[in-house]
């Protein structure tokens, strides 16, 4: 049973790259696992480590102050490419609980929602303003509230949020059904199995198109 998603507060990891594809989030060689766990080490592996395995000092996740942060502020169009659910698994395993971008690739967004990783899409201007805010106040905290569909901005110094024109709180859109499932911790497979009679009726009226066993 998934855990209900409660509000949380975190500082922000800025990663301005555009079109961060799922091959970057978790390179293919980590896909040989048959488990969901243990993927934190592979997260952004090729960006995090030099070929000899030592950390790249200039990559944001390697900065000591990033440890424990749960909000990733990503560049535009986050998560295109492969359908690998290992991408949200790896982000969650590292500790990320929400990604903010201008938009998300369809499969990534769905995969994220199935795992309680919140894909928060904001308009381009606010997205740019958030990067400005984090640059001006690297310790700014955000409270992400799924029930209220809002993000509250908690600057570490007065005035910076207003200067960046982000506002005190801002709303975000999220699929209302996915939101409900996440707030209640409802299991989607259980939800569909609860409607088995409808499936049986449909199947009775629609003969199978193929028999793969034939």
Binding site for another protein (CB under 8 A): 16-19, 21, 23-24, 27-29, 31-36, 46, 51, 75-77, 80-85, 103-107, 110-111, 114-115, 175-177, 188-189, 191-193, 195, 198-199, 202-203, 206, 208-214
- Choose between 158 and 212: whose C-beta lies nearer to another protein: 212
- Choose between 10 and 126: whose C-beta lies nearer to another protein: 126
- Choose between 7 and 123: whose C-beta lies nearer to another protein: 123
Minimum CB–partner distance for residue 68 and another protein (Å): 27
Minimum CB–partner distance for residue 92 and another protein (Å): 13
Minimum CB–partner distance for residue 31 and another protein (Å): 5
- Choose between 128 and 154: whose C-beta lies nearer to another protein: 128
| CA atoms of 24 and 29, how far apart (whole Å) | 11
What single-letter DSSP state applies at residue 67?
A: T
Torsion angle in degrees (nearest 10) through CA of 144, 148, 153, 158:
-140
Considering only the C-alpha atoms of the chain, give the largest distance between any 2 of them, rounded to a whole number of Å: 70
Minimum CB–partner distance for residue 56 and another protein (Å): 13
- Choose between 159 and 194: whose C-beta lies nearer to another protein: 194
| CA atoms of 132 and 134, how far apart (whole Å) | 6
**Beta-bridge partner residues of 24:** none
Q: Are strands 141-145 and 150-154 parallel, antiparallel or unpaired?
A: antiparallel
126 in Cβ contact with 168 (< 8 Å) = no
Residue 35: count other Cβ atoms within 10 Å of its Cβ: 7
Helix (H, G, I), strand (E, B) or coil at 93: helix
Minimum CB–partner distance for residue 183 and another protein (Å): 14
- Choose between 92 and 155: whose C-beta lies nearer to another protein: 92
**Beta-bridge partner residues of 71:** 12, 98
* 73-91 as b/e: b if 16+ CB within 10 A: bbbebbbbbbebbbbbbbb
Minimum CB–partner distance for residue 89 and another protein (Å): 9
């Amino acid at each position: 049973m998934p855990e209900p998603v409660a509000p949380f507060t975190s500082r922000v990891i800025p990663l301005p790259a555009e079109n961060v594809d799922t091959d970057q989030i978790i390179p293919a060689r980590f896909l040989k696992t048959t488990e969901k766990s243990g993927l934190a080490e592979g997260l952004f592996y090729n960006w995090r480590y030099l070929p000899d395995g030592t950390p790249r000092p200039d990559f944001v996740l390697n900065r000591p102050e990033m440890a424990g942060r749960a909000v990733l502020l990503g560049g535009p169009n986050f998560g295109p490419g492969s359908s690998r659910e290992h991408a949200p698994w790896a982000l969650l395993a590292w500790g990320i609980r929400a990604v903010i971008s201008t938009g998300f690739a369809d499969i990534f967004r769905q995969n994220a929602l199935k795992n309680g990783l919140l894909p928060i899409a904001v308009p381009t201007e606010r997205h740019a303003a958030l990067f400005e805010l984090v640059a001006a106040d690297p310790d700014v905290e955000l409270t992400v509230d799924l029930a209220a569909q809002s993000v509250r901005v908690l600057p570490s110094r007065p005035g910076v949020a207003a200067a960046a024109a982000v506002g005190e709180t801002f709303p975000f859109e999220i699929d209302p059904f996915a939101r409900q499932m996440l707030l209640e911790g409802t299991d989607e497979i259980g939800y569909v199995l609860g409607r088995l009679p409808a499936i049986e009726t449909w199947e009775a009226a629609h003969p199978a198109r193929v028999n793969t066993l034939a």
